[in-house]
Amino acid sequence: MCAPESTANGRDDPASLEFFESRIRPVLLEHCHECHAADEVNGGLRVDSGPALLAGGDSGPAVAPGKPDESLLLAALRHDGFEMPPSGRLPDAVVADFAAWIEAGAVDPRSDQAALPRAAGIDIEAGRAHWAFQPIARPLTPEVADNAWPHNEIDAFVLAALEAAGHQPAPDAQRLIWLRRVTFDLTGLPPTPEAMDAFLADSSSEAEATVVDRLLASPQFGERIARHWLDIARFAESSGGGRSMVFQEAWRYRDYVIEAFNADMPFDQFLTEQIAGDLLPAAGPEEEARQLTATGYLVLGAINYEEQDKRHLEMDVVDEQLETLGRGLLGMTLGCARCHDHKFDPIPTDDYYALAGILRSTKTLKHSNVSSWTERPLPMPPGLAAEEVAVPHAMAAKDAETVVDCEICIRGDVHNKGRAVPRGVLQVATLGPAPTMPAAASGRRELAAWLTDPEHPLTSRVFVNRLWQQFFGRGLVATPDNFGTTAAPPSHPALLDHLARRLTDGGWSTKNVVRAIALSHTYRQACRRSPPLEEDPDNALLAGLHRRRLDAESLRDAMLSVAGTLVSDLGGPGISDPKVLAKAGSETPSEYTFVFTDTRRSIYTPAFRNRRLELFEVFDAANPNAVVGRRPVSTVAPQALYLLNSPFVMEQASAAATRLLAEPLGDPAAGVDRAFRQTLGRGPTAREHELVLAAVAGSGPDAIAAWATVYQSLFGCIDFRTLE
């Protein structure tokens, strides 16, 4: 994981906090606390709190944020004047992490522990007063003054909040704007001119429902929503780190996710299979293979398999899995409780190690000098099982040979063990009897059953909040990976609970919730163009929608679609180069020199951790090293430069021009209209039509080049890159 760029608000940046927690805090704990913490302070220096580290000791401030060369801590780690730790210089990679951390602002969330009273323990019952741990309500649909506006219950909740604040909804969006919006949101692709014509010709009251149902039934729906899930599953096809190894079978998990959403697999089953699919009964080899593949969720993390301290490696894997489960499924930062009771949320260290015991009793690692991940053979259909056939394997988990309760690692140090904690789950999120863990199994089935209990206060709320964010750019809870006490409360608490109950009461159907959101009047509003309301500057009440930029994958797929070069093949491996697939040595990882040439949907583009497709880097694709519930959205010069100079963009513009000129258009004016409809989802304005027609008229043998320039200009314009 690379250190995040320095930002003015870095202390609120999830990537900055993640870097500190994963790369900086563990080193301080392992190598520095013994001599420089509250229990023993040598040289006047303490490193166990942020303010203390900044203040430094007898030699002066230890860290100068943004100035690594002026930071005594870094000089000591480099053994430049000081020599810390005295046992020997730390690896260059660790020193580089500290340099990058300081350069990015030395984000450190730890408070001054010396000034705080010693914790008397966490009061679980008091912690349950927080809204996120309260039972999910069954709110009544509110009464509203404008009874004609709501199309469904969602609208009643939104309108009631608007009316209570003295506001009104925005007018409806134009029909083609809504069509482009919903087509991208449900499939990640633009509507075709033919789809636009069909929609405009349908004047029935069911026209919008017809569109939504068609999109939900298309295979592109699964590809679209799976991309969001892969962001929070930290999906990648390589391990990352110095000796990055390719996950040859990771694509099977990706395809599992796509197929599950296309089939509208009940979300409780979807989660259960990913947590404990290998432990479930199966009706046949196909179902067994699917369930094994699903457990790749536990195996796909960014892991340093070169770690020689295998006990340390095992706990790092468990910690990574717990962070993925916590942030992704529960909206909780569980990793904060590895070294001490959570500073903000009612999560004691015991709860962390209770969950860790379940995962310590699960095998996802194979040890050698350089360790690797577990793969399991997939069952074959009966007709093939007896034949001698490169048997397919999947990255998959299984129960360990020995089931263990995990000992507390004092201060997070795996070699400083405390008492063992019985396997279990989060107390504060357990509203009924806690699950009983089996003596001879890991407890993953019990964990999955606890997670998917319809009364669980977090699971359904977290998921429907993610769905809402996909349509509005902002969740009802603005921090989708954090429902804890430091998060902002939901903008519409009753609506959040209504959606959670709609999910669980509706058989955990994702499509049911998505359909209700897509057909709501709330979603049909035009984008807000007036200045934000003083009392609602973020438009959390939704008096109109936000203009949203297309994500990186949709931007690429839209260009391929317009160009006619998009290959629509579903599923299968995205990496075919044998040199890449065989990568296991210590030379430069093959992913650094990999050439991205495919033109399938972006979800199938090889997802390496050390190197991504350039377009994905430039346009803020998710960091595959972490759970990313909400991507950053930057506006920087390299984005415009990429659209102007990228060979990929120019190739797609040329292909689009060739495609256009091969159609029986009749005259250039018709071509102008079609080009705008293909790219922007609307016809040109009179001025746009005049300018483009002048640019292509009389181009003769240079017609393709002239039209290619037009398409590249359209790809670069803001109306192509954003959704109204």
Per-residue model confidence as pLDDT tens digits over 178-228: 999 999 999 999 999 999 999 999 999 999 999 999 999 999 999 999 999
Do residues 6 and 103 lie in contact, with contact meaning Cβ atoms separated by under 8 Å?
yes
421-425, 448-452, 696-700: range with lowest mean pLDDT: 696-700
Segment (H or E) for 97: helix 92-103
What value does the mean pLDDT take over residues 293-302? 97
**pLDDT for the residue numbered 12:** 57
Tokens 């990913």 sit on residue: 274
**pLDDT for the residue numbered 4:** 53
Distance CA 24, CA 212 (A): 47
**pLDDT for the residue numbered 14:** 72
DSSP-derived 3-state class of residue 159: helix
Calculate ∠ Cα 107-111-116, nearest 5°: 175
Do residues 227 and 603 lie in contact, with contact meaning Cβ atoms separated by under 8 Å?
yes
**pLDDT tops 90 at residue 136:** yes
- Report the greatest alpha carbon distance in the chain: 85
DSSP-derived 3-state class of residue 15: helix
**pLDDT for the residue numbered 141:** 97
State the chain's mean pLDDT as an integer.
91
**pLDDT tops 70 at residue 584:** no
**pLDDT for the residue numbered 163:** 97
Distance CA 555, CA 211 (A): 22
Do residues 646 and 712 lie in contact, with contact meaning Cβ atoms separated by under 8 Å?
no
* CA dist list (Å): 390 to 71, 120, 252, 381: 54, 58, 15, 15
173-177, 365-369, 409-413, 510-514: range with lowest mean pLDDT: 409-413
Do residues 185 and 179 lie in contact, with contact meaning Cβ atoms separated by under 8 Å?
no
10 Å CB burial of residue 60 (0-12, 13-18, 19+) is: exposed
**pLDDT tops 70 at residue 302:** yes
In this prediction the pTM is 0.85
Tokens 């922007």 sit on residue: 680
Distance CA 228, CA 231 (A): 5
Cis peptide before 85 (omega within 30 of 0): yes
Query: What is the domain partition of the chain in residue ranges?
Result: 10-110, 266-451, 459-548, 642-723
140-174 pLDDT per residue, tens: 999 999 999 999 999 999 999 999 999 999 999 99
Tokens 């509706």 sit on residue: 506
Do residues 238 and 591 lie in contact, with contact meaning Cβ atoms separated by under 8 Å?
yes
Distance CA 209, CA 152 (A): 13
Query: Helix H segments across 341-411?
Result: 349-360, 382-385
What value does the mean pLDDT take over residues 667-696? 95
**pLDDT tops 90 at residue 291:** yes
**pLDDT tops 90 at residue 549:** yes
**pLDDT tops 70 at residue 711:** yes
Sign of the CA dihedral running 240, 331, 571, 221? negative
Q: Which residues are registered as beta bridge partners of 407? A: 420
Distance CA 591, CA 608 (A): 7
290-299, 340-349, 515-524, 639-648: range with lowest mean pLDDT: 340-349
What value does the mean pLDDT take over residues 389-405? 92
87-91, 295-299, 569-573, 604-608: range with lowest mean pLDDT: 87-91
Do residues 159 and 150 lie in contact, with contact meaning Cβ atoms separated by under 8 Å?
yes
**pLDDT for the residue numbered 55:** 85
Q: Which amino acid is at 625?
A: N
* Concatenated DSSP letters of 489-537: PPSSHHHHHHHHHHHHHTTT-HHHHHHHHHTSHHHHBPBP-SPPBTTBT
